[in-house]
């Protein structure tokens, strides 16, 4: 592929990171001359070090702070349908070893060697999020390869979210193959049944990343009264009901999400043990505290309060406030689960503000378990952002 353009690291940039597996090249690390800036977003190029030695084949987006994403360590690789199918096959092989049913994250972006691309599988359907320009340009080829490798009948492109904006990509929603499901898809997970709205739901329709944390929570919830705050479609609440919880209350600001939680409970024949409240989570927790309400297990799984470094300080304050408001709602000897999906807030920072918030809520705690995303969300060791999810399990004294 010698006809590809070349982008070159500046003399002071260190190529060792790329050689050792770091997948990103930042705009201030390369020589951005007129030819580099003229490269069409999503095109491929050969990355060279300052001595003009090839380092990797990259995809280029001059409109992004991440100007280059490593596609292949072989600078002579050809990115086409066969190359994509190879990466998908490798990703599929791992998931099929891990899971009995075809419900999982199939592609976790850089960690699966497909930078900026997320694919969640829902049986015979798949939802892809092309959050990098190359994946958006090659969405058709990806969908074709996906159907060939996995046998899915429907492929939906969900082009929404903050990540696309950072790449200069427009929002779009499109059915690339097959037909969109006419009703939410039933997803079995940890003995519970969830409903995923593949066209109208948040992101791909369901969050698979919390699967192991749902499972750990289930060990705490038999016969328990459970409060699931920021519940979305009932992630922790439905898992608790499946494990024999006496009752679960789900609080979320989205009426459609709560409707899906109700639908999941009905599919499990557990609707009489579920209550829903559509409300701002902070106001709802304050109201419950005024009533003197307490639960055996309280789970708070909010959206990313710190999606970027500039938002970190405010985000950490928000996480601390969540802990402070939730702690009084836990019965003596009960459990509080606090989660963060903010990659900008590392585990140490999140743990510190959570503990401080519990203390400000007038409670003492023991940290009994720390959870992360499931193995269908692998972490690329060189890229901390791929290990974004944190779940802290506390036991609270009286």
What pairing do the DSSP bridges indicate for beta strands 330-340 and 295-300? parallel
Task: Quote the CA–CA distance of 213 and 371 in Å, as a whole number.
Answer: 6
| Cα 377 from chain centre | 8
Burial of 290 (0-12, 13-18, 19+ CB in 10 A): exposed
Task: Quote the CA–CA distance of 263 and 268 in Å, as a whole number.
Answer: 9
Residues 6+ apart with CB under 8 A from 250: 228, 231, 234, 237, 258, 261, 274, 275, 276, 277
Active-site annotation holder among 250, 300, 339, 341: 341
Task: Quote the CA–CA distance of 76 and 219 in Å, as a whole number.
Answer: 51
Task: Confirm whether 341 is a catalytic residue.
Answer: yes
Answer whether 126's CB lies under 8 Å from 197's CB: no
| C-beta atoms surrounding 171 within 10 Å | 10
Angstrom distances, CA of residue 119 to CA of 23, 26, 155, 382, 394? 19, 25, 10, 21, 32
The catalytic site residues sit at: 341
């Amino acid at each position: 592929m010698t006809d590809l353009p070349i982008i070159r690291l500046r003399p002071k940039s260190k190529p060792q990171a790329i050689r050792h597996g770091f997948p990103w090249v930042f705009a201030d690390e390369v020589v951005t001359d007129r030819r580099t800036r003229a490269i069409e977003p999503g095109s491929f190029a050969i990355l060279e070090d300052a001595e003009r030695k090839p380092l990797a084949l990259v995809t280029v987006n001059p409109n992004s702070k991440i100007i280059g994403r490593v596609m292949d360590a072989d600078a002579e690789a050809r990115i086409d349908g066969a190359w994509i199918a190879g990466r998908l096959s490798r990703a599929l092989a791992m998931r099929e070893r891990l899971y009995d049913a075809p419900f999982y994250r199939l592609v976790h972006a850089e960690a699966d060697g497909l930078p900026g691309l997320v694919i969640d599988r829902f049986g015979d359907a798949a939802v892809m999020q092309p959050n990098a320009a190359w994946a958006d340009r090659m969405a058709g080829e990806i969908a074709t390869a996906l159907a060939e490798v996995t046998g899915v009948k429907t492929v939906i492109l969900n082009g929404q979210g903050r990540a696309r904006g950072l790449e200069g990509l427009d929002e779009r929603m499109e059915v690339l193959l097959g037909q969109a499901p006419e009703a939410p898809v039933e997803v079995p997970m940890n003995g519970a049944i969830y409903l995923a709205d593949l066209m109208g739901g948040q992101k791909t329709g369901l969050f698979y990343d919390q699967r192991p944390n749902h499972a750990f929570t289930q060990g705490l919830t038999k016969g328990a009264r459970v409060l699931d705050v920021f519940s979305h479609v009932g992630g922790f609440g439905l898992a608790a009901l499946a494990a024999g919880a006496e009752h679960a209350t789900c609080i979320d600001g989205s009426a459609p999400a709560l409707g899906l939680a109700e639908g999941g409970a009905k599919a499990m024949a557990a609707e009489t043990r579920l209550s829903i409240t559509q409300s701002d989570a902070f106001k709802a927790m304050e109201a419950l505290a005024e009533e003197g309400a307490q639960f055996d297990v309280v789970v708070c799984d909010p959206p990313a309060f710190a999606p970027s470094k500039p938002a970190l300080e405010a985000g950490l304050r928000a996480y601390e406030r969540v802990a402070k408001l939730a702690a009084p709602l836990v019965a003596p000897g009960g459990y509080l689960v606090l989660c963060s999906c903010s990659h900008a807030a590392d585990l140490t920072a999140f743990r510190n503000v959570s503990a401080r918030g519990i203390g400000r809520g007038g409670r003492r705690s023991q940290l009994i378990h720390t959870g992360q995303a499931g193995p269908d969300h692998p972490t690329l060791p060189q890229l901390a952002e791929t290990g974004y999810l944190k779940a802290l399990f506390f036991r609270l004294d009286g």
